[in-house]
Structure formats: structure tokens, C-alpha cells
Amino acid sequence: MCDEGYSAVSSRRVAEVAGLKSQLVHYHFGSMDNLFLALFRRTEEDYLSRQIRSLTSTTPLRSLWEQSLQQSDARLTIEFLALARHSEAIGSEVRRANDMTRKVHNLIISDALEHARTKDLPPPEVLAFLIAAVSRTLGTEEALGTDLSHAAVHEYVEQILARFEPPET
């Protein structure tokens, strides 16, 4: 899916990669939408568990940012967003997951704001949105093979993240 796009995924291809007969894929999932939903939910569980681990990090906002930049997540997200435009079931699941992810990000950021060295920062929901938007744009552009201005964006984000980290002793 990441290499060739969601439209290249078929029960036959999935079965071939898994070393199964395509009938087994149909038996277990019933439809390609159900297979995509299962993949999305499994991916979401993994992603959210990594995000929640950010809460226990000594630098939770940096951890959140770095996880948001995962290239494999970006490619898969692009495909699920494209698929969501054509499938109401997938679209509904993507919207639900997006809302859940944003809530988790808000929690992580709210906690980080309490410990920030400066109080001159936007509200948690604004920072959560900016992290999602900037990391998604960086990932999308990198997947497309372009990186114009990326170094400057990374440098600026580093300056912001430094405001949240405890001073070095």
C-alpha cells in the first residue's frame, strides 16, 4: 500500500504476500473495506500507544514531534486519506481516529505546557494542530521527494521545543 498505493491492494495480492489463498482473505475480511479497516485500526493502535508513551518521556513534546515525523506513518496516512475520499466507512474511521489522536496530543501538550520555561505559548489545541499539520506536510513532501525549506522548519521547531525542556544542569 505504501509502495504502490491503496488501489494496487487486492485480496489476491494480500494473499500472495501473506502466503495464503485469496479465498482465506475473503473469508476473514469479507470485503476490501473490512481489510482496510482492520489495517487502519491496527496501525492506529500502534500509533496511539507510541503517542501515549510520550507522556512518560522526560521530553514529551519532543517525543511527540519525533513520532509525528515517522516517514512510514506519513506514507500510510496519505493512502488512507485518499481511500477515505472513496469509502464512507474508511472516512468515518479516519475522522474518529483523527479526533482521538488530537485529544491525546492535547493531553501531552497540556502537560508539557505546565512545565514549560516560558508561558508565552499558544493553547494546547493550537499546538496540537500545528504539530499535526507541519509534520504531515513535511512527511507528504518528503514522500514526494521535495524538501525545500524543511531545514528551516526543523530548526524553528527545535527552538520552540527547547522552551519545553528542562534546563540542562
Pure H helices in 54-149: 60-68, 71-84, 88-114, 124-144
For residue 163, what pLDDT is reported? 81
- Mean pLDDT over 149-164 rounds to 92
CA neighbor of 138 nearest in space, from 152, 127, 128, 124: 152
168 pLDDT higher than 70:
no
Domain ranges in the chain? 32-162
What confidence tens digit (pLDDT) does each residue in 79-137 have? 999 999 999 999 999 999 999 989 989 988 888 888 777 777 889 999 999 998 999 89
- The continuous run of DSSP H or E covering 51 comes out as helix 32-53
26 pLDDT higher than 90:
no
- Mean pLDDT over 36-47 rounds to 93
Which CATH architecture is the domain 32-162 placed in?
Orthogonal Bundle (1.10)
What confidence tens digit (pLDDT) does each residue in 44-88 have? 999 888 888 887 888 888 888 998 888 677 778 889 999 999 999
